[in-house]
Amino acid sequence: MRTNEYSFYIVPKRGDILAKYGEQKFGEIAPIDFPIGWIAVILKYPLDFFGKLTGNYGIAIILLTLLIKILTYPLTRKSFDSMKKMQALGPKMNEIRERYKDDPKRMNMEIAEMYKREGVSPLGGCLPQLLQLPILLGLYNLFGEYFALKNAMFIPGWINDLSSPESIFTLPFEIPFLGNAVRLLPIIMLATQFFSTLATQSAQPAGADNKMKWLPYILMAVFFFILYNLPSGLVLYWTVQNILTVLQNIVVNLIRYRKFSLRM
């Protein structure tokens, strides 16, 4: 005879209330023990603040994304300036490629020397994206473990639980790697990431390697498959992050255009 055992925890959803009970610690109920779980702990405080302020953790995630975007703006601006410098070097890069097309080793040496002389780095535009990785991992850990987000609703009838994937309907068959649930939020995320990638690619130098230009689109597809079945709160964060990136690029370009017009 087969038997099943279940354990139930009946605890307050708010950590500040739970902290008043001395015997059970928050970490024992909802452990944040990921190798970089300290990031999840840091992100929990502003998320809680915005959640209490608005009464909606979906709006809290949007505000948290905006806060992270503001805090990382200096690095983003530096990255944007680096890409603009690289774009300006496009004609020189094309000239070097044409001159040394039969000598790849010499061509790479000349390009590296040009970067050094001009004070730019071909990886200068990657820093904001690399910074997002630990933040994403921290949020993944937070959305999966933090009990305040369990059954936390954003949009009734659509995103009813930010700690779980949303679904608009179920197919009678399964799609490889995705399953049979049709999720609208990851599709919206994919669209926003496409426009975000286009906005970033517009700042790439004209002479950049065409193979490298395809890399962001490959990563975009990888992100879609990875995030498709993950908590909707995490997908919401990345969607808003993409939208803010597009808006940021538009604003920065408008400011630069206005400065250029005033000089003329």
- Is there a domain that residue 181 lies in? yes
- Whether pTM > 0.85 for this model: the answer is no
Residues lower than pLDDT 70 in the chain: 1-2, 6-36, 122-128, 201-213, 256-257, 259-264
Cα–Cα distance for residue pair 148/153, rounded to 1 Å: 11
The answer to whether 143 and 234 are in contact (CB under 8 A) is yes
Residues paired with 155 in a beta bridge? 159
- Is there a domain that residue 155 lies in? no
Quote the number of domains for the chain. Answer: 1
- Is there a domain that residue 27 lies in? no
- Is there a domain that residue 20 lies in? no
**CA-closest candidate to residue 234, choices 197, 183, 196, 200:** 183
pLDDT value, residue 68: 93
- Is there a domain that residue 186 lies in? yes
pLDDT value, residue 23: 47
- Is there a domain that residue 1 lies in? no
The answer to whether 132 and 241 are in contact (CB under 8 A) is yes
Strands (E), 50-119: none
- Is there a domain that residue 189 lies in? yes
The answer to whether 64 and 46 are in contact (CB under 8 A) is yes
Domain that includes residue 194, residue range: 32-149+161-263
Q: Is 156 helix (H, G, I), strand (E, B) or coil?
A: coil
- Is there a domain that residue 106 lies in? yes
Type of residue numbered 63: L
**CA-closest candidate to residue 125, choices 76, 193, 72, 192:** 76
